[in-house]
Structure 1
């Protein structure tokens, strides 16, 4: 989500509209938009009564007599609680923000229309299998039943002066496309490398600035647990063995078998790290109908449960980061076409009419190729050579919803894997556990087969010589059932061991989180539910452990630096929100990331292995310009500590959490005087590399993404399982459930993940005419 929030950062002048809003009733109007949660409602489209319970935290439990009515009711409830969020999300996917937000959103719409997310959603919807189309249509009917019910619209609609259109099937599918976009960053990596090479950075130097995944670091799968024969891992050229991503949405999950637990049955934990927003990305609910009983985290706008459990199995997901995007360099011929397989092929031109609030309309001409859209046309600073994008999520078939509905119903490993057989993108690390005691892992997805020599790491000529050859079959996907060690950990680190027959990607997250989780899980002979909580909430920094020897070696430049150095050396590396040492270390490390700024053209270069090697062995960037003295890298580290202390004094704070706050902005209201009512923030600890992650903008120290949901499933007693997400269940500003979960989430508390819980309110949905 962080990339989307950055993409959609808007500056809106709504002061005049705010005055109108206050004249229309202000507080009383807001109260009147809260949904009906008790009593009876008659809804056309239902075939039988459906019961909707809400507990004291607003967690929803729906019971229906058939699956169609169940998904209808889910769509209705999602619309009750999150209609504005759903509207905003589909407008993002459609590229129709300027219609309601004005010219401030026009560049975002151009970008989104160029990629063609909604066009892809429409094509995929037309090709859905009957079962999944019926599910989507039932969900959409529920959303539209809410729109037709006469219920007041959330205040954002009144503020912006429009009413939502009825929902359709592609509106559901497009948000899955946007999530895939948010979790697929290879195109940006390719552009980064292309820019650095054009800047004159040599391939050999790139290997130093962007080191490959360390050979001695953990992988998710072990060679001895794989059914596939190990041959040779695809080896890229020296130029391309590089580049952990500048940013990938991160996550942790793990599963431990009963042989390692006090209960004798597995535990499964998951915490996806995604962008923060108000309201939250997720909505907690339980769905029950004959043959369908599931509880967990749902996505408003999408049917079913994405992460959770049913009465027999549990699952969690983290992002694989698989490389399913390629950029193709086009030999443009007079703007009319491009050279492909020896011929000039005309561009297919797709006209997009972008309406802008106030009456203006812009016609955008999107150039299409055999690979896909020419996305460099939509970039602010496009490269000289146009590039087209090939991406699996723009394929005409996409059955990801069918995969998730199958997972929701699965009763065992075989059914679980079979359900994922149609999975497309974004590829996820699925961990699995069941009440029989089995644990497993599978990474499903449409993984491209590339020609030898094409690693997917940099743009390649779009002349037909580097086209994809197809996709890997499901039987070749990485997977394991009941591994020997009795545990599986994923933290966006490398999936496959040495010798795996093909590469999923060469971009992997640094192994710090994975190493810390493994360290904690291996520390006890028999693990408990409390241990699972402790691991999920752990904020000890292995980054500090790596950089501590540098502190031991440097010579402080002042008495205050000496005191700071002594404090950091005596510290245990826990990045707690109340810790002054955590603040000092974060500021010092941030200053260290400035080391190659002039060489790479970016102010911060968060590549710890490059920095460590430079500080220990020397690097050309350590000598500071403008001085007669030739500075060493330890001199630079000492200077960085001085600069960190200067910044700390300027901030005027003592503890990490005073400046490092988890921020939850409203996509639109954050730019208005209603920001005080809509936005939230809490002090938080951690950094990018702690298990309880706390990545931050180095310029502001603010935290814009992190644990968007936490789940711990106890397979010995499923009703003892736990879950939580930040903010609250409701998207309504004056609802008691708008932000009531945020304090619980911030301090590491959980809600019971139960099918049965005391109901605070009961709403009966009845068939109507």
Structure 2
């Protein structure tokens, strides 16, 4: 018994020691928000005040010192995020995650981003302010990387820390630019429909892109001086970093606000992840001030404001990627046909390191249009060589200067010059200032092809007839400055005509655009509180219209009592996606069954690709209005041609039967909160179990639906559950009548360090539509409890 007691004591002591060891270890990994840190190569002391939500307010005597401090504090909260995002374009995810991501690495490393980065850096002016400040930012990151606490994730995956360089920053820009593009999801699909099903099927799909348009109007006035995709989709789903998707923004002129000053709103839509995509910071020097939102490894904010102006962005969704069929020389597969004869492919050898496996080597063939995708996508089944031409890698890259100049502008004219330098990705850049100017610029390098060429199809690379004929001057880009309606906005929808045409692109459906226009047109006395309510709005203006067209085709005499009740709920629905609503559940399931019964028989496996693009929503909104369509006939039934009424009634009945099996017989219990949820997943938390509980944030019930202003993006698939994968990556509202009390919110928190108190402290406020203050008042900032002081390192 004595031996047993001694053993228990030993075990107890060991457990206590283990607990103390774990406690000491985890505490050593926490970010440092108080005290002093010696920082190399700064000339003066830099003081960082951390506010209640962990935003660093950096006070420095000069910008070089400020950006050095920014790099350090950004890294201590987001080093793991920086590590992941820099590896994507370089094809280096397999080094830490193993062979599962080899296909992803092969694809991204073959796009030419690294090669474009090298050319860009060779051309940079090393004496420019943007270059110098970027190097200071990198120095700060690298000092933390060398001297600060190593994030837990580095230990768990066994990755060694490496110095961060300018190449990493440009590779991040390259990934960002690619994730904005949509052509890779749409062009191969439409080409396949045209080639395999014929013109009638293609024309109906393609025609839907010009139906139901809410067009952003161009209007330039003077500045005020007063004060393939299924394969690609499969690859992208494996990425551990958020893709960029859509966005809302509107800027209200002084004539439409209660206090006669500009109000600015922006909520970029990006794939949800943990940590959140944006890192907030506030830099203040004697000559410069900016409250900004930075991507990992980007020194200058893409979203920002100060007391003089505010800016933000949405995705333009213009067409800046084109695919070409090349023709190989039948006698030499290393040559391809051009109008001037055969030319040699450029050959680039690539090596990918794979954790626990031998290195993988492969070769990229590059034509004058770009890399041949057949070798980059393992399961691309087209035997014809397909080249990808991408404006991002084709033209000079000035993204560093774009972000620097937008964040350092002294006037609207200055700001416009910075926006004009953007070549890719295409962005709607929004602007508002304290002098009562408002503006929208559709930025990106736009170009023209010959008339009648459909760039939504894969083009002919051999004839020379399908080449870019000319590039447009920025003044021809869609834009508006101080328009007569006293507001500008973007919801990724079609811009007005330019250069005599509607510029081709992959614009999102009109749902959010119409709702924004309706709300902005309804009053002329907006307050910050009105805009906060608007940015959280969950009403769809188009869903009731789609339902109205479908209901007309349902055979009412063949419905059960439950079906009749569900139909009545749909009839009276106002399009609101609240937790207690039943109609959104019925609507989404009816949508799923309608799409399956209309398109599955012809499209087959390609339907999965179709429903992953914005084209689906445009096509369905157009399809429900048609009485006659080649798509109504079910080609799997012989000697019978189905009607719209048969397809819609069948879809409705199948939807109700599914919901009865999924959620029970009582229609009133089919609430939206039972099927819709959101979880912010960490790259390691995706493994599940204890790792999920430690790293992920959520799951939570949520309001909102796909293509409402509070956009909650999910797949409508066979499961009947809607796991939100993307949405507002931040919500920001800047009111120039009270700019020091402007407000924002992040989906989870400011820090990516799981042991930080700022890891998920904003999650519930975000879900509830609440905000936190973006502090600019210096006296208020200096009252912060957490103060970190950087002193020059001796």
The TM-score with structure 1 as length reference comes to 0.90
Partner of residue 607, structure 1: 617
**Residues 721-760 of structure 1 aligned to structure 2 (within 5 Å):** 721-756=742-777, 757=781, 758-760=783-785
1:215 offset after TM fit, Å? 6.1
1:54 offset after TM fit, Å? 1.1
**Residues 99-498 of structure 1 aligned to structure 2 (within 5 Å):** 99-130=95-126, 131=128, 132-149=130-147, 151-200=148-197, 202-214=198-210, 217-222=213-218, 225=220, 249-333=245-329, 334-379=332-377, 380-395=379-394, 397-463=396-462, 464-497=464-497
**Residues 519-598 of structure 1 aligned to structure 2 (within 5 Å):** 519-550=518-549, 552-553=551-552, 554-556=554-556, 557-594=559-596, 595-598=598-601
- In the alignment, the residues of structure 2 paired with residue 25 and residue 325 of structure 1 have an alpha-carbon distance, to the nearest angstrom, of 53
2:88 to 86, 89, 92: 92
1:659 to 671, 675, 686: 675
Paired residues of 2:684 and 2:695 also in contact (CA < 8 A): no
DSSP-derived class of the 1:206 partner? helix
Partner of residue 648, structure 1: 659
- In the alignment, the residues of structure 2 paired with residue 576 and residue 26 of structure 1 have an alpha-carbon distance, to the nearest angstrom, of 43
The 3 A distance-change label for structure 1 pair 696 and 143 is: same
The 3 A distance-change label for structure 1 pair 623 and 343 is: closer
Paired residues of 1:125 and 1:133 also in contact (CA < 8 A): no
- In the alignment, the residues of structure 2 paired with residue 296 and residue 374 of structure 1 have an alpha-carbon distance, to the nearest angstrom, of 39
Find the structure with the greater CA-based Rg.
2
DSSP-derived class of the 1:505 partner? coil
- In the alignment, the residues of structure 1 paired with residue 352 and residue 574 of structure 2 have an alpha-carbon distance, to the nearest angstrom, of 55
- In the alignment, the residues of structure 2 paired with residue 622 and residue 467 of structure 1 have an alpha-carbon distance, to the nearest angstrom, of 37
Paired residues of 1:39 and 1:763 also in contact (CA < 8 A): yes
The 3 A distance-change label for structure 1 pair 623 and 347 is: closer
Q: Unpaired segments of 5 or more residues in structure 1?
A: 1-21, 228-246
1:444 offset after TM fit, Å? 1.8
Deviations 1:380-417 (A, max 9, x none): 22422111121121136311121111111213211111
The 3 A distance-change label for structure 1 pair 266 and 693 is: same
The 3 A distance-change label for structure 1 pair 408 and 356 is: same
- In the alignment, the residues of structure 2 paired with residue 215 and residue 209 of structure 1 have an alpha-carbon distance, to the nearest angstrom, of 11
The TM-score with structure 2 as length reference comes to 0.87
Paired residues of 2:685 and 2:693 also in contact (CA < 8 A): no
- In the alignment, the residues of structure 1 paired with residue 413 and residue 426 of structure 2 have an alpha-carbon distance, to the nearest angstrom, of 19
1:613 offset after TM fit, Å? 3.6
The 3 A distance-change label for structure 1 pair 148 and 613 is: closer
The 3 A distance-change label for structure 1 pair 693 and 216 is: closer
Paired residues of 1:543 and 1:689 also in contact (CA < 8 A): no
| 1:638 lines up with 2:649 in the alignment | yes
1:617 to 599, 611, 627: 627
DSSP-derived class of the 1:372 partner? coil
- In the alignment, the residues of structure 1 paired with residue 621 and residue 370 of structure 2 have an alpha-carbon distance, to the nearest angstrom, of 38
- In the alignment, the residues of structure 1 paired with residue 19 and residue 502 of structure 2 have an alpha-carbon distance, to the nearest angstrom, of 60
Paired residues of 1:677 and 1:733 also in contact (CA < 8 A): yes
Paired residues of 1:127 and 1:397 also in contact (CA < 8 A): no
Aligned length: 725
Partner of residue 239, structure 2: none
Partner of residue 229, structure 2: none
Q: Which moved more, 1:309-318 or 1:391-400?
A: 391-400
Deviations 1:685-720 (A, max 9, x none): 222221111221112421111111111110112112
- In the alignment, the residues of structure 2 paired with residue 654 and residue 27 of structure 1 have an alpha-carbon distance, to the nearest angstrom, of 45
- In the alignment, the residues of structure 2 paired with residue 473 and residue 608 of structure 1 have an alpha-carbon distance, to the nearest angstrom, of 30
Paired residues of 2:326 and 2:337 also in contact (CA < 8 A): yes
DSSP-derived class of the 1:545 partner? helix
- In the alignment, the residues of structure 2 paired with residue 608 and residue 555 of structure 1 have an alpha-carbon distance, to the nearest angstrom, of 25
- In the alignment, the residues of structure 2 paired with residue 509 and residue 374 of structure 1 have an alpha-carbon distance, to the nearest angstrom, of 28
Deviations 1:124-170 (A, max 9, x none): 22222332222221111111111122x22111110111221011111
DSSP-derived class of the 1:443 partner? strand
The 3 A distance-change label for structure 1 pair 286 and 635 is: same
Q: Which moved more, 1:630-639 or 1:423-432?
A: 630-639
| 1:768 lines up with 2:793 in the alignment | yes
Paired residues of 1:42 and 1:765 also in contact (CA < 8 A): yes
Q: Unpaired segments of 5 or more residues in structure 2?
A: 1-17, 223-242, 664-668
1:492 offset after TM fit, Å? 0.7
DSSP-derived class of the 1:598 partner? helix
The 3 A distance-change label for structure 1 pair 396 and 34 is: farther
DSSP-derived class of the 2:578 partner? coil
